[in-house]
A and B are shown apart, each in its own frame.
Chain A
Amino acid sequence: MKSTKITMAAFLFLFSLSLAGQEEITIRIREGMPMIPVAMPGFQLTDKSLPGNDIVSTIYETLWKDLEFSRVFKMVPREHYSYISRFNANAINFKDWASIQANFLISGQLEIAADERIIFSFKVYEVNGARFIFGRNYGGKKEFSRTIAHKAADEMMKHFGEKPLFTSKIVYVSETGNDRDIYIMDYDGFRPTRITYSNALDMLPSWSSNNEKILYTSYRNLTPELFIFDLYSGKTELLSSGGSNYAADWSPVSDQIVFTSTKSGNAEIYLKDMKTGREKQLTFNPAIDTTPCWSPNGREIAFTSQRNGTPQIYIMDAEGSNTRRITMEGSYHDSSAWSPDGMRLAFVSRIANRFDIYVYNLKSNEMSKLTENSGRNENPSWSPDGRHLVFSSNRSGRYQLYLVDYDGRHIRQLTTGSENKMPKWQRLPR
């Protein structure tokens, strides 16, 4: 096993500072509020004689795309900026920006410092109140300009009472030749980093509760077994033994994992405490029980069972008791993913040999369809803020990863090239 340097460590080089001397205001938005119109004129280089326009545009475009993706902010189109006077950071004409329906205004400035380092400053203004809201400075190496933009976007989310998601990562499986390995990339598909190097099938990765480890299934010892890869030490550890062990999910709130094992002779769901090493069998049924998935509070487990003839979604308490069936219609459901707010379950349903992603609302018991008439769609996973999902689909030929909003809108392809599948989006660190 080669040890891999994870770019995450590089984040430590980044520092963020609140702009001194200016009072910050936090604004809370409520559920169901319309999107907030934000204008963002082009960013400036502090010293225009130095090269750095490419970095300026990378940060600008990345931040723009993040905010546009958020479903929290609505970007005022750039074409409208030409109707008003040019943005001047020293004398902002708020009336102009109000006239093109911008409620907030973001200005940005980039300084090229020594040793290829950059310092990016951004400020956010409320247009109608003609006042400064908050700002941040970020410094780092220039190759982290995308990360700097993502951090700025996260800061926007936090200031508007939303969960940050733009620095979050997605772990997935990429296929090259006959080999399948685990990779990690930014949420927007950039900077893919390979983390496993076995000459066997590595699959079904998931994040540890602190996002520091990847738990996955590998066939490197012939039968499927569970392995843990530590992103910081680069070490790999074999977890399970006896029977086939696969489809593991790490609790979002504790050091417990659930997984499928055939050590009893049949596919059953087990819980393992990573601290004590103790294991507990949760299902006892001669049918197939598989694909366990934790609820966000760690109290319940959704899973797939064929106990009534066909694979259906069930929920049980984390102790294995109080099992109830969730899906009542359709003959094939699997790959549950619990939304971060605990209200919804996303899963795959096969109806008339079409595989689509469905979202089941646990409160209203309503089911909605996220994908339609486009290839086979599999393995949904929620964004940390629950507004988006990542899934795999063969709609364009080979399996690739796609993003979709919670309501089925804005489907966007994330990966190209070799086959990519089984994505799992990071959760917010607890």
Chain B
Amino acid sequence: MKKLLFVLVALSLILLFNGCGKKAAKVAPAQAPVVEKVEEPVTQVEKPVLSEEEIFQQKTIEDLNKDETMKKINFDFDQYQIREDMKPILQDNADWMLKFPTVQILIEGHCDERGTIEYNIALGEKRAEAARNYLASLGVNAAKIKIVSYGKSKPLVHGMDEESYFQNRRAEFVITKK
């Protein structure tokens, strides 16, 4: 009985000093410990190829937007008609939205700085509206699309050349719900 009690006390002490209690406590050796070289086999893990659905499920709305899941389109100077070369982008955006019918988006219309503040708000809204109408013509439910215009208040780039102006004349597709 006495022996059993001693063992129990010793055991509990060991547990106390050794947080997880998986290993037995060792008395520190007098000489330097022998360093054992540990090597692991190099494993080549192949990342699983995620399907579009899996990506959609895994990513947050922020990440989806950051990764430009829906690509922006650009416009001609002073214009709000959809350019021919932008139609394939809208087609991709529409396809994606049709694939994920729970998605809701906000289309932001923007302008370059070569316009007045007031008129650009109207022009930016026309651009956002044109993009919404085009998506709707491809079968997307327009009720899932909200629009807003920032005019020239939120330029993407700050250059004063045609390329910068082109980049700033845009409609952005922001996912707001998935």
Contact = CB atoms under 8 A, between A and B. Distances in A.
Interface of A: 180, 201, 203-204, 219, 222-224, 244, 246-247, 260, 262, 267, 288, 290-291, 304, 306, 310-311, 332, 334-335, 348, 350, 353, 355, 376, 378-379, 421-422
27 contacts: A180-B153, A201-B150, A203-B153, A204-B117, A204-B118, A222-B106, A223-B148, A224-B149, A244-B125, A244-B148, A246-B118, A262-B125, A267-B122, A288-B126, A290-B121, A291-B119, A304-B119, A310-B78, A332-B78, A334-B115, A334-B116, A334-B119, A335-B116, A348-B116, A350-B114, A355-B114, A355-B116
Contacts of B113: 376
A330 to B, nearest CB: 13
A353 B122 contact: no
Contacts of B106: 222
B150 to A, nearest CB: 8
B2 to A, nearest CB: 73
Interface string B158-170: 0000000000000
B123 interface: yes
A290 B119 contact: yes
B118 A247 contact: yes
Given A203-B153, A244-B149, A288 B122 contact: yes
B158 to A, nearest CB: 11
A353 B149 contact: no
B161 to A, nearest CB: 12
A288 B153 contact: no
Contacts of A223: 148
B122 A260 contact: yes
A141 B121 CA distance: 44
Given A203-B153, A224-B149, A288-B126, A311 B119 contact: yes
Contact of B148 (A222, A290, A335, A355): A222
A422 B118 CA distance: 10
The prevalent SS among residues of B at the interface is mixed
Contact of A224 (B78, B114, B121, B126): B121
Contact of B118 (A306, A335, A376): A335
Given A260-B122, A290-B122, A421-B117, 12 more contacts: A180-B153, A204-B117, A244-B121, A247-B121, A288-B119, A288-B122, A291-B119, A332-B115, A334-B115, A378-B116, A378-B117, A379-B117
A73 B106 CA distance: 56
Interface of B: 78, 106, 113-119, 121-123, 125-126, 148-150, 153
Contacts of B150: 201, 219
Contacts, number: 70
Contacts of A203: 117, 153
B92 to A, nearest CB: 26
Given A222-B148, A224-B149, A246 B114 contact: no
- Please give me the 7 A-B residue pairs with the lowest Cβ-Cβ distance, nearest first: A334-B116, A291-B118, A267-B122, A288-B122, A334-B119, A247-B118, A290-B122
A302 to B, nearest CB: 12
B16 to A, nearest CB: 53
A222 B115 CA distance: 22
Nearest to A354: B114
A304 B118 contact: yes
Contacts of A288: 119, 122-123, 126
Contacts of B123: 288
B113 to A, nearest CB: 7
Contacts of B125: 244, 262, 267
B173 to A, nearest CB: 15
A379 B117 CA distance: 8
A229 B105 CA distance: 32
Contacts of A350: 114-115
B95 to A, nearest CB: 27
A246 B150 CA distance: 11
Contacts of B117: 203-204, 335, 378-379, 421-422
B51 to A, nearest CB: 33
A418 B123 CA distance: 27
A310 B77 CA distance: 12
B163 to A, nearest CB: 15
A290 B118 contact: yes
A357 to B, nearest CB: 11
B118 A334 contact: yes
A17 B98 CA distance: 76
Contacts of A310: 78
Contacts of A290: 118-119, 121-122
